[in-house]
């Protein structure tokens, strides 16, 4: 009995290896070097001739910043890398922290906001988003 099992074992192994080789041959074409690093494009979706489709702006909820002097500067300069929600989602920050925050956007993250506008933005944030005056 033991001899028979030992006799069958190499046969089973050979069959498994042969199956592996055949499978690898079969799959080989898909990974040809010409295709390395390329992404296959998704098949175009099939539009139904009798369906209604609508294309519109991605719905991003508007962020209401408190009206005031400097708001326009914030909308222009603080909206390029991230939305103004970054301002409203902060807890009320001390005035010095707002100044440091805008400083960080300019110096660390390279916002490059002109000096005049930077000053107005800092005053705006200090005037509306500190513990003493934030009401929204
Ligand atoms: C050049 C790109 C850029 C501009 C312009 C920019 N930010 Fe940022 N801001 C960042 C990056 C990067 C982070 C940190 C990474 C993150 O959380 O997305 C960040 C984070 C913040 C945060 C979260 C707190 C923190 O420090 O991580 C606040 C608040 C913020 N920005 C306010 C502002 C204000 C106010 C302005 C306008 C004066 C502004 N940002 C303009 C790049 C920018």
Q: How large is the angle between the packed helices 95-107 and 115-128, nearest 10 degrees?
A: 150
**What is the rounded distance in angstroms from the CA atom of residue 52 to the CA atom of residue 75?**
36
Nearest alpha carbon, ligand 1 atom 7? 105
Ligand 1 atom index nearest CA of 104: 26
Which protein residues are within 6 Å of ligand 1, measured from CB? 77-78, 80-82, 86-87, 90, 101-102, 104-105, 109-111, 113, 121
Mutation probe of ligand 1 site: the residue of 109, 110, 121 with most atoms within 8 A of C-beta: 109
- Give how far Cα 11 sits from Cα of 7, 16, 51, 88, Å: 7, 9, 59, 71
Encode the chain (136 residues) as per-residue pLDDT tens digits.
677 777 888 888 788 888 877 777 666 655 566 767 777 788 888 888 898 888 887 776 778 899 999 999 999 999 989 989 999 999 999 999 999 999 999 999 999 999 999 999 999 999 999 999 988 7
Nearest alpha carbon, ligand 1 atom 34? 78
**What's the gap in Å between 84 CA and the centre of ligand 1?**
9
**What's the gap in Å between 58 CA and the centre of ligand 1?**
22
Nearest alpha carbon, ligand 1 atom 30? 86
pLDDT reported for residue 112: 95
**What is the rounded distance in angstroms from the CA atom of residue 31 to the CA atom of residue 48?**
34
User: Per the confidence metrics, is the pTM higher than 0.85?
Assistant: no
pLDDT reported for residue 31: 58
């Amino acid at each position: 009995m033991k001899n028979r099992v030992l006799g069958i074992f190499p046969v089973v192994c050979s069959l498994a290896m042969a199956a592996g080789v055949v499978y690898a041959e079969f799959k080989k074409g898909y990974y040809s070097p010409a295709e390395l690093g390329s992404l296959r494009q998704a098949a175009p979706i099939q539009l139904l001739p009798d369906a209604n489709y609508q294309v519109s702006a991605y719905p991003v909820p508007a962020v209401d910043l408190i009206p005031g002097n400097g708001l326009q500067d914030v909308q222009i300069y603080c909206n390029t890398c991230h939305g103004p929600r970054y301002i409203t989602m902060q807890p009320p920050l001390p005035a010095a922290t707002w100044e440091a925050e805008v400083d960080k956007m300019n110096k660390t993250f390279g916002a490059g906001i002109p000096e005049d506008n930077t000053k107005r933005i800092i005053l705006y944030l200090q005037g509306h988003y500190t513990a003493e005056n934030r009401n929204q």
